[in-house]
Amino acid sequence: MPVERCRGLDGDPSDSQARYLEAEVDGLTIASVYLPNGNPQPGPKFAYKLAWFDRLIRHAQGLMDEAGDVVLAGDFNVVPTNADIYNAWLWRFDAVLQPESRASFEHLLDQGWIDTTRHLHPTERIYTFWVNEAAFRRNAGFRMDFLLLKPDLAPRLVGAEVDSALRGRAKPSDHAPVWVELRARAGSELKNLRAINRPQSTIPANMASVAAAMAAVASQPSHFQRRGSANSPIRRRLDAARMTATMMGTEMTALITADQ
């Protein structure tokens, strides 16, 4: 059953924004992250973004130093390089492309975190966000959503993809779901695990049962498909996941699914 470990980040007692939630299931810790956008910049919103990023970096170092497997999943509101956006020049004044934002993300990766998408797809043009439908139709996108792994998880990494087709549905989020698949650790009752960073949406019918969900931002309700009998372990995990997500409304949610 998922166990909540942490809600919010240390370092600013006055910060009431719901942007970080951390839970553990089956020996795997997942942190759901929603980094501030920071626009307009310069200004107080950009200063808050950088200060929040610093707090995340400090907390992430603690996760890196302790034993255990960890995934950092979420909307980081940063475009790390010019290869992660269709046209960097057009957006050069946006907070997500500022040198300070990029330096903070690089500092985070320098701790040892693995950018799963780039680890498996080092040269591909991959986007996770499109500002509107017209931008999506011409694939004028940004890559700002990440699932970052501790290095010890790298040998278990099976896949890392973006379900970009969901961006083309009626009334979609401007972000597409991003997921990684991990081989289950030895002795686990689960098979392969899939960790997903997805916008608010209903889980598609072809996905396996939800084993854990961590909400990142208070904004919209999450919907989870139920599977299994009322007393099955997977069903109990799903119910606990739904309770975890219900504690905070969500825009971005991290999930683990168990292959059936």
Residues 6+ apart with CB under 8 A from 81: 102
For 96-141, how does the pLDDT look when each residue is reduced to its tens digit (9 = 90+)?
999 999 999 999 999 999 999 999 999 999 999 999 999 999 999 9
Of 221, 217, 37, nearest to 142 (Cα)?
37
Supply 152's token pair: 């010890």
pLDDT above 70 for 187: no
3-state secondary structure of 236: helix
Cα separation of 146 and 136, whole Å? 19
The residue with greater pLDDT, 236 or 91, is: 91
* Amino acid letter, residue 39: N
Taking each helix axis as running N to C, give the angle between helix 44-65 and helix 99-110, from 0 to 180 degrees, rounded to the nearest 10: 10
Decide: 50 and 30 in contact? Cβ < 8 Å. no
State which fold the 3-258 domain adopts.
Deoxyribonuclease I; Chain A (3.60.10)
The domain limits of the chain are 3-258
Q: Which ranges of the chain would DSSP assign to H, the alpha helix?
A: 44-65, 99-110, 116-120, 133-137, 233-246
**pLDDT confidence of residue 142:** 98
**pLDDT confidence of residue 121:** 97
**pLDDT confidence of residue 183:** 86
3-state secondary structure of 34: strand
Cα separation of 171 and 169, whole Å? 6
**pLDDT confidence of residue 197:** 65
pLDDT above 80 for 24: yes
**pLDDT confidence of residue 27:** 86
Highest mean pLDDT among 99-103, 152-156, 253-257 belongs to: 99-103
Decide: 176 and 167 in contact? Cβ < 8 Å. yes
Residue 172: asked if its preceding bond is cis (omega within 30°), the reply is no
For 33-75, how does the pLDDT look when each residue is reduced to its tens digit (9 = 90+)?
999 999 999 999 999 999 999 999 999 999 999 999 999 999 9
| Band of residue 200 on the pLDDT scale cut at 50, 70, 90 | very low
| Band of residue 228 on the pLDDT scale cut at 50, 70, 90 | very low
Average pLDDT, the chain: 79
Decide: 116 and 147 in contact? Cβ < 8 Å. yes
Decide: 145 and 74 in contact? Cβ < 8 Å. yes
